[in-house]
Structure 1
Amino acid sequence: MSEKQIDELSGVETTGHEWDGIKELNNPMPRWWLWTLYATIVWSIGYTIAYPAWPLVSEATKGMLGFTSRQELKTDMQAAIDAQKVYVDKIAAMPVSDVAKDPQLAEFAVNGGEAAFKVNCSTCHGTGAAGMAGYPNLNDNEWLWGGSIDDIYKTIVHGIRSDDPDTRFSEMPAFADILDPAQTRQVAAYVVSLTGTPADASMIEPGKKIYADNCASCHGDKAEGKREFGAPSLADAIWLKGEGEDAIIRQVSTPRHGVMPAWGHRLNDATIKQLAVYIHSLGGGE
């Protein structure tokens, strides 16, 4: 057994390691550090006894306190629901138009509606409600069925072409069975001329007559649309199904009809009212 080596200058025992004439001293750890280490060991043992800690085959040790993060989340969620209840109950009991007139309730509804929108509506309309091809932009003032807060509420509740008995329903006929290809191109040229320049200007006048005979009853004499039919304006350069003559020809010939689900049996009335207030607040409401 090797003898202990003492450093001549400091008088401290060395570890026996030496490099380039420098010897490593074997100084003891500070007492406060050691006591801190011991305390953490004791604390960790107590923690693993009190709380879930050690993984097993199909679960983990449960701990003597019975704590679970799931239960903690449920408790926090219930506390939030309880705190909101006074506002939610008021909103549920009031007409949606009155909710928007109450500054305190309106602020609450806008925040709650925004959260509900991101969960339920953003998949189609986008997180900012700007829409995409085939899905309406909710930030502008172009509404197929009306942009008042009551109109928005009704649309959310009953949907568009949904399975709800009171859904809003309209269907554009397939004019491929009514007009020949030349007539379809002429009416498309006229529609384009309302906001732009068609490929062949000579088609505008015959297209205008075809429009008056076949399209004006729903879209209006001035092509500004009729909300009672859910017929869009064709005179504002806002296109839901596609822009340009070719897209218009496709829609006239074989129209595509979107479906919005009815949320009345999916969400509670207070949440739907909050959604309506939020959408109405985006800037395109009437």
Structure 2
Amino acid sequence: MAAGKKYTNVIIEINNECNVAYSETPILKCDRVHELIERAGNIERDGRSLYVSTSLGGGGVPPANIVDASDYVLLHGNGVENPSRITEMIRQVRAMDVYTPMPIVSNEDDQPWRVEEQGWGDEGNNFVVSARNYTSWGYFDFRLPEENEDYNLGYQSVPVNWHISSDRKRAFFDKLAEITGKPGTPELRMEWPGQIGAVTVHVEKGRSNAVIKSIDLMIDNEIVATASQEPYEFHIEQIPEDEHWVRARASYQNNGGEIAIESPYYRNPWWPYGGRY
């Protein structure tokens, strides 16, 4: 399908949050966007077509014309502080006369990490409530204005650190592992004893039973030292001048494949006045 590659696991969203900021384009608004959904859904190649839908803003339930034309239903949980509203949104969709069994996809929700009353526990959480109602859930993680210099945060803010490099990223993946019955991913934590060039890396396994054979210390994307047994202690004699980035990397085997994990990035960790985060 897509680009001649014959991909079939591809979905299309016509326009994100069709009830927001489309006042000058009538066909992109809720009462007419189903026309575009149908047009895109009718495009075929080799007898196949892509799955098409669109979303409303956080807490909104798509009207019947959108649900009727869609191959799946998109919901957004942004701004939905009370998880019971998520349950009600799902119930409303499934109660529609035009609804037929199809995936309900919540692909944008930032509330568990932004609303203290939610958190990542088993109760009062948009993620958990969605899973209990047999719908998907999309983790929406971005850097707040006061976090703009911390590149370890935010999957939706560029530049992106795609590793599990912050507490809220890890909280999501830990909850995901718990829900799916998986062992989870180990965590690498770096500690600075106060000597220039010295660093200790700690491995916190949590639910994981991963066997890590060695850890690499990296400065500016180059491996500068390797430790093969605990405690993973390093001392670097030649520290690059000017700005530099430090992180630890390890790998382990899982179901026949190799999984790479990294610590958060640290900027200028040995500078006299700190500068790391």
TM-score above 0.5: no
Structure having the larger proportion of residues in helix: 1
Question: TM-score, normalization: structure 2?
Answer: 0.26
Looking at CA atoms only, which structure, 1 or 2, has the larger radius of gyration?
A: 1
Question: TM-score, normalization: structure 1?
Answer: 0.25
Structure having the larger proportion of residues in strand: 2
